[in-house]
Amino acid sequence: MNIDPAAREPDELPPSLPPAEPDPAPNPSRGPLDGIRVLDISTVYAAPIAAMLLGDYGAEVIKIEHPTGDPARTHGAQKNGHGLWWKVISRNKTCLTLNLGTSEGQEIFRDLVVDADVLVENFRPGVLEKWGLGPERLHTINPSLIMLRVTGFGQCGPYSERRAFGTLAEAMSGFAHQTGPEDGPPTLPPFGLADGVAGLAGAFGVVTALWHRRAQGAEGKGQVIDLSLLEPLLGILGPGPTAYDQLGTIAGRNGNRSPNNAPRNTYLTLDNRWVAISASATSVAERVMRLVGRADIVEEAWFTSAGERSRHGDLLDDAVAKWIAARPFEEVVAEFERVGAAIAPIYDVAQLMNDPHVITRESITTVEDEDLGPIKMQNLMLRMLGTPGRIRFTGRRLGQDNEQFYRAALGLTPDRLAALTEKGVI
């Protein structure tokens, strides 16, 4: 249902901002997903990230919250009462309120589904069905609708009805078991890793489903995408299940080392700066060892095997650590670059944002926010030179677009909107 968004958007919905970087060629569209309408009724992180990514590349994303607001509005750092993570995760989204737990709210939502291409939700299995908003009902209204359903453990299975957050996926997937010092406890990440990975997988799933629908022509059908937080993270953790199946091995914790190659670790310079190096390729490992004065190790028969280098990690690390510890940061980086070895500084966010490479590529961009003025945030993840996306506006206030959108899209009168507000429906 690729309806022209210009024909269905009120004139004064969120304004288009200039792209973070100049388009390489004139392009009147908002991005490759221009014309796709997404209803985002999800909360907190994984599913909203998927919807954010779709919005970044041109989809019209309509964020629908309970009248009390998405909890993500109050998560993390705040300024003047505005959540900063909300400004990022809800960028490019029109903000409406609607109580889906009421019969009138359900009726309004079904009306919105008629013209939608994608629905993104993360309610527990069975909740939408109880409200008359499950796939069977919605596909009767709109057969071409693509439903991205994000849950902790999926729509089926013995854990499907458990409450879950990304932390539980990070624990169950094996990630935490493999993370941290060898003699320390399992370690969880300090951010929503599982949510972010699932968000990326969800956006990929939606685009794949859109392509499949398009390939079917005018009668193209939608489908349900069953996405758990567990499986995408499990999917990128390497060959652990295969190694256990074939060899009976269980990966443990290695600190900052890798069980697959060496040298790979973090090292402290003479002036107390941390750097990270990796030598996955034998040629790079050779350059590192020659640089640090241990060409003799390169001549060992085992050196050409990444696995064998890992098993000799103590020897390699000791040589590299001593060489780096005797030199200041700038010299270490310069020497590694001179010989063509891989090295990077370990940055905090302030150092990252002041790095010349990050600045030149605008990896962090500045966007005008109507509440806070110019604010910085991560730029788009992909640089599509033919059909670039852009950050058109940042996360908006609760229910900010209710009146204009509902009047334009559904023809609700001011009196009707006032009555629905009074009853807590919007």
- Calpha distance 43→65 (Å, rounded): 8
Q: Cα dist. 120→45, 111, 230 in Å?
A: 12, 16, 18
195 is catalytic: yes
- Candidate list 195, 318, 348, 415, residue with the active-site label: 195
Residues taking part in catalysis = 195
